[in-house]
A and B are shown apart, each in its own frame.
With several copies, the nearest count.
Chain A
Amino acid sequence: MTLTPKDVAAFVANAHAAIHEEEQHLNAADANVGDGDTGSMLRRVVDAMAKIDTAGAASLADAAMGLAQAAMKETGSSLGTLVATAAMTLAKAAKSADGDIGAGDMGRVVAEMRDAVAARGKAAPGDKTVIDSLDAIAAALDEGPANRATAARAAADALDAFRDKPCRIGRARMFPERSTGADDPGMLAIARVLNHATVTQ
């Protein structure tokens, strides 16, 4: 089974529904040590992604690139740009595989996303950011079964595993006592979106 533009569009539709439900919850998580905008920013980004015709894209690469561009136009926030970076990574992977990306490739693709996000954001695994979610998801998908439920479980596990660690990046690093014991808003967003996708699948 090869990933199609329609699959990507379905994923975006799910994310759209999830983020609309979780917007305030994610804002509240960010307000703990950040500026309280993670939910609203992601909502704007996913709204913009949902507006373009992803299902009708000529190729998987075009579908993913369209999403990256929509994200990049909508926001200048860190996480928004990292979302765009991840989408662009998928586009690149699709291009070099000539569109032939299957479920079995997803572990590798998510690992590439993790590395691209780390390079863009100059953060590392262990810093308690979306990088750690991507890292856990990549490993779980490699082990299999390579499906959304596996990804969702890995994201949830990563959230639990990092909750009691301090954040080591950006503004939050200055308040280890406040980030320890609280969810990182970016990691939380990934977990909520994937959980929603699984539940409604």
Chain B
Amino acid sequence: MKKLLNDPANYVAELLEGLVSAHPELSLGGESGRCVSRTDPAADGKVGIATGGGSGHLPLFTGYVGDGLLDSCAIGNIFEGPSVQASLDAIRAANRGAGVLCLYGNYGGDRMNFDMAGEMAHMDDITTRTVLGTDDVASAAPEEAEKRRGVAGIVLLYKVAGAAAAEGRDLDAVAAVTEKAAAATRSIGVALSPCRVPTAQAPNFEIADTEMEMGMGIHGEPGIWRAELQSADAVADEMLDRLLAELDPPKSSRVVPLVNGLGATPLEELFILWRRIGARLCDAGLKPVSPLIGNFVTSMEMSGASLSLMVLDEELESLMSAPARCPFWRVGL
């Protein structure tokens, strides 16, 4: 867990400078200096989609700002929610006069800050609505689903919300379909090794050389069980079984699978996981649509993977396949 960095205190500021220099379609600004938004903002009258979250998860969050996806992102320190000011900056940057959907993961600090920013935005006559990513089945029991944290599934929600806004739907409609997408999406992660936050001396958790933890969160939050490392197929089976048990998709449903790497896991191993997951989905009579395999939501150099599934209906499928383009993902363009 050695790092290529300068002063750890400047880690976030420097990475953002590098990001916008490499991607001129993104601009860094706001009073906080911690808001990334589209250099060419969307047309007036489009519902804005703002997100935010801690740093250390690239391409999440800010990498999904782009056409048919997000309008802006509030950026926090590593693994720390964005400040109220950054959240307010993001809401303002996303606003094209038709209101702003605040779409982010369900973490205490992020929620408080966006709520507070939303109240301030109201004073500027900006209407906001909130949809939270709560896809991580390992973080609370189904009865307490509203307490669940958001992990990689949020990327799928970005796609749905961004496409609905691009179609010209109004704020209530965008929020409603994003809620529907959230209700149809579940994730679970597995961790093999930790990462180290730049300002810290030690890794964010400890795990034996022969162990894995099923259900661990993207900041090292504890999971469901920890035991000897299992085979890729066994891991794939358990992740899939847990998601299917919750989603209980009608026979022959179409589903979008996202096999996500947490950072240090080679793409090769994500494809080995996917091989099993794809086969199992088909055996279960389900139809995988445009599987996403890669590093979409990371936790610095943590190794491990997560599986997300979104069960489609016609509306969600058409929104998922609408054209979109951001620095780290493209659909149909």
Contact = CB atoms under 8 A, between A and B. Distances in A.
Do chains A and B make direct contact within the complex (CB under 8 angstroms)?
A: yes
Interface string A67-84: 001001111111011101
A76 B109 contact: yes
A121 B110 contact: no
A36 B54 CA distance: 16
B294 interface: no
B32 A121 contact: no
Task: Tell me which of A69, A77, A82 has the highest count of chain B C-beta atoms within 10 A of its own C-beta.
Answer: A77
Contacts of A72: 83-85, 113, 116
A35 B219 contact: yes
Given A35-B219, A171-B221, A174-B222, A81 B112 contact: yes
A41 B76 CA distance: 13
A37 B80 contact: yes
Nearest to B82: A76
Contacts of B83: 72-76, 80
Contact of A76 (B81, B219, B221): B81
Interface string B73-96: 000110111111111000000000
A81 B80 CA distance: 12
A77 B80 contact: yes
A194 to B, nearest CB: 23
A122 B219 CA distance: 22
Contacts of B77: 75-76
Contacts of A81: 84, 109, 112-113, 116
Interface in A80-134: 80-82, 84-85, 120-122
A48 to B, nearest CB: 11
A169 B112 CA distance: 14
B116 A76 contact: no
Chain A contact residues: helix, strand, loop or mixed: helix
B18 interface: no
A76 B108 contact: no
B116 A35 contact: no
Contacts of B199: 40
B262 to A, nearest CB: 17
B110 A76 contact: yes
- Residues of B in contact with A, size category: 20 to 34
Nearest to A84: B84
B116 A75 contact: no
Contacts of A56: none
Given A76-B76, A76-B77, A120 B85 contact: no
A170 interface: yes
B115 interface: yes
A52 to B, nearest CB: 14
A182 B33 CA distance: 38
A76 B54 contact: yes
B222 A85 contact: no
B85 A170 contact: no
Nearest to B33: A73
Interface string B22-33: 000000000110
Contact of A85 (B31, B76, B116): B116
A75 B81 CA distance: 8
Nearest to B139: A174
Contacts of A84: 84, 116
B85 A73 contact: yes
Given A37-B80, A76-B83, A120 B222 contact: no
A169 B111 CA distance: 14
B203 to A, nearest CB: 12
A76 B115 contact: no
Contact of B108 (A40, A69, A121, A174): A121
B108 to A, nearest CB: 4
Contacts of B79: 35
Nearest to B84: A72
Contacts of A41: 80
Closest 4 pairs between A and B when the two form their complex, measured CB to CB: A76-B81, A72-B84, A76-B76, A78-B109
Given A36-B200, A81-B113, A174-B222, 7 more contacts: A41-B80, A73-B83, A76-B76, A78-B81, A82-B112, A84-B116, A85-B116
Interface of A: 35-37, 40-41, 69, 72-78, 80-82, 84-85, 120-122, 169-171, 174-175
30 contacts: A35-B219, A36-B200, A40-B199, A69-B85, A72-B113, A73-B31, A73-B32, A73-B83, A73-B84, A75-B77, A75-B80, A75-B83, A76-B54, A76-B76, A76-B77, A76-B80, A76-B82, A76-B84, A77-B80, A78-B108, A78-B109, A80-B109, A81-B109, A81-B116, A84-B84, A85-B112, A120-B116, A122-B111, A170-B108, A171-B221
